[in-house]
Amino acid sequence: MSNHNHPPPHVPKFTDGIKPEWEPRVPPGKIQQVYRDAAIGLVDDALIMDVGTRLFLRCKSILIASEATLGRAACLRCETIIPHTRDKRQRICCPTCAWQTTWGDYFHTLD
């Protein structure tokens, strides 16, 4: 009797090695520098753009990760939403491009 939730041993954890990568936290020192500069009237456009971009990407990662934990994982190849049951043994497969992994492997990237 076979279990259809587990791939054969030769199937990689993530199709084509494409796995979730989450944006890191914005270094607090960069955010503090924006506020320090603003307090004395300095405008560092490059710093503001850097911090703003990092904050945007971090927030986007958090939203994508949150949706995934609620049963709606985003395909990393084409961004199609893949519904799943949150059973870590479940194989999630994109109906659009066939990218796949298990929910457990996807979930463990959130650590």
Token output for 96 = 């659009």
Would you state the pLDDT for residue 7? 54
C-alpha span between 67 and 100 (Å, rounded)? 17
Would you state the pLDDT for residue 10? 72
pTM of the model: 0.81
User: Hey, what's the torsion of the CAs at 83, 84, 85, 87, to 10 degrees?
Assistant: -170
Residue type at 105 in one-letter notation = D
Comparing 10 with 84, which gets the higher pLDDT?
Answer: 84
CB 48 within 8 A of CB 55: no
C-alpha span between 110 and 34 (Å, rounded)? 29
Would you state the pLDDT for residue 12? 86
13-17, 46-50, 82-86: least confident range = 13-17
pLDDT digits (tens, 9 = 90+) for 54-93: 999 999 999 999 999 999 999 999 999 999 999 999 999 9
